[in-house]
Amino acid sequence: MDDAKWMMITKGLALSVAYCLSYLVLRHFSFDQWFLPAGLRAVTLLLLPFRFWPFIFIGDASAVMYGRLSIADQNSATWVYVGPFLLIAGNAIAPYLLRMRLQTPQAITRQLPLVAACMSAWSGICTTVLNAMLGGPVENATIAFFTTKFFGNYLGTLMGMLPALVWITRKQHFVTLRTAFRDIFLAATSIALVFAYLKYWHDGDDIGRKSILMAMIFPALFLTYFHGWLGAAIGVLMVNIGIAQTMTYMRTPGAAPYDENVFLAQIGLSIAASALLILGGRITSHYEKAMDAGVAEEEAKRISRLALLSNESESRDQVLYMAQLHILVDEEMRSLVHWLKENGRYKEALAINSSGAQHRELFNRHAIALYPVGIEEKGLFAVVQSQAFEDRWASGTHVAIRFDDGDPRILSTELQLAAYRCFCSAIVLMCDWKPEEFRVRMRVGRTSRRRGIYFSVSVVNPGNAEVSHAGTAASLLLSARTNAHGGIVRRHAHRISVLLSEDGTERTVSERPQQGE
């Protein structure tokens, strides 16, 4: 019994040392917008047995304390020597509650975006509050700093959790991984080419750089489309590394300069990664069920693709959840503002209030890319002619739209969403021509038995076409969506036409009589 006890203590001390060294190494290659130690902390606290937690606390606190020694003379001794232990103890609350709720790695895999978001938000709150309470640095107690830390921790958590979960479920994905090697190689090559272009050849404006950075997400979408959750996990990892490496930083902790372009791309990556992991999980689930039922491989792929096309409700729920999470963060920050004012720190409180609205607007602008909530109330036409749509999908190129006839609200929400997704794919595909302007015609009509929508997208003064990975992925998605809805797509030299229809005998929500009519 004594030998077993001493063996346990020896293993635990070795874990503490290994954790501390790993934390310091990862911190050396991290910055606030891409914080890799958050992934190490998530993996150990979520996946290792509880009996190892005391040793994890020692290793984490030792690493944080080592990093604070260089600025010990600028802050209180309590913050330097006691704060690290309180910080890891506070950060462990969220993983503990999550483990009580999600008791297996498989359950954590299915809820990974939610797990990462909760841990990142809680970690940012703990850091800010403990800094203020223990006499640490409070000059960074702003919404901007908190937002940067949140997304940095979120991406860092994904960087740690995704490889760990892929390894845990390796037996399930081994055959798929071998067959997916070609697609993974193509996606990695595409990301490497985009990175090389940004680093060595691109000298354009900020808008162009943002668009190119966001284009890195399409290889992850491509892998998700064909390989489900495994493709999403590998794709998100590669894109995460690709976007992070565009940041120019010194190899010292905390010396990374803030780069707004990269930060905006990382916000987009965080949102897209959440959607891809959820949709990838759904695809894998449908694919496995189809294979278990004896469905042929090609038919199983078709069902998986249709599952991707029919997951708008999951995207909507994700947007609503992210909005609720943002509200929760705002409430916590208001509490922080109140605490700062009570302690006479009016400058920090004013900085939080003045920057809060700007960052909420930034968050909402990227969240709307997941699901166009305005379709449910205002209809398709109102969404596609908004400035947000033009900035998000047309890379700032002007989109001139002519509505010939009809009200899209006579269509079901499902068909409007399908038309919206097809329209987005057509715009992305035509962006390969680098036009001066997009010209769009839309028409909604109905007969006694059918109702539908027709639209065409053409380009004005197109340049020399350059086939991009984003355009290729958009072409595949456009074909898949039109096929799923029994539609028709026609492609010409500089024009794409799409027709989608549905059963016209069922009444939509907008057509149903209201009470009292």
* Residue spans per domain, the chain: 1-160, 377-511
Q: Count H helices and E strands in the chain, helices first.
A: 22, 5
Cβ atoms 335, 377 nearer than 8 A? no
Q: How far is Cα of residue 370 from the mean position of the Cα atoms in its chain?
A: 9
Q: Could you report the per-residue pLDDT of 107-162, keeping only the tens digit for each?
A: 888 788 888 889 988 888 888 888 888 877 766 666 777 777 888 888 888 888 88
DSSP annotation of 398 reads: E
Choice between 373 and 81, residue whose per-residue pLDDT is larger: 81
Q: How confident is the model at residue 362 (pLDDT cuts 50, 70, 90)?
A: low
The pTM for the full model equals 0.53
Residues constituting the chain: 517
Q: Is 303 exposed, middle or buried (0-12, 13-18, 19+ CB in 10 A)?
A: middle
Q: Which fold has domain 377-511?
A: Heat Shock Protein 90 (3.30.565)
Choice between 448 and 98, residue whose per-residue pLDDT is larger: 98
Q: Are strands 437-446 and 398-405 parallel, antiparallel or unpaired?
A: parallel
For the residues of 391-432, what is the DSSP string, one character each? HHHSTT-EEEEEEEE--GGGS-HHHHHHHHHHHHHHHHHHGG
User: At a CB cut-off of 8 Å and minimum separation 6, what does 506 contact?
Assistant: 412
**Lowest mean pLDDT, pick from 39-48, 168-177, 476-485:** 168-177
Q: How far is Cα of residue 95 from the mean position of the Cα atoms in its chain?
A: 21
Q: How far apart are CA 446 and CA 448, in angstroms?
A: 7
Quick one: which H or E segment has residue 404? strand 398-405
The residues facing 445 across adjacent strands are: 452
**Cβ-based neighbour number of residue 504 at 10 Å:** 17
pLDDT at 439: 92
Classify 394 as helix, strand or coil. Answer: coil
Choice between 402 and 237, residue whose per-residue pLDDT is larger: 402
Q: How far apart are CA 209 and CA 187, in angstroms?
A: 20
Alpha-carbon distances of 176 from 173, 234, 275, 287, 294, rounded to whole Å: 5, 12, 21, 12, 17
Q: Could you report the per-residue pLDDT of 43-89, keeping only the tens digit for each?
A: 999 988 888 999 999 999 999 888 888 777 777 888 888 888 999 99
Q: How confident is the model at residue 405 (pLDDT cuts 50, 70, 90)?
A: confident
- Res. 314: pLDDT tops 80: no
- Res. 358: pLDDT tops 80: no
Mean pLDDT of 330-338: 76
DSSP annotation of 72 reads: G
**CB neighbour burial string for 136-165, b if at least 16 within 10 angstroms, e if fewer:** bebebbbbbbbbbbbbbbbbbbbbbbbebb
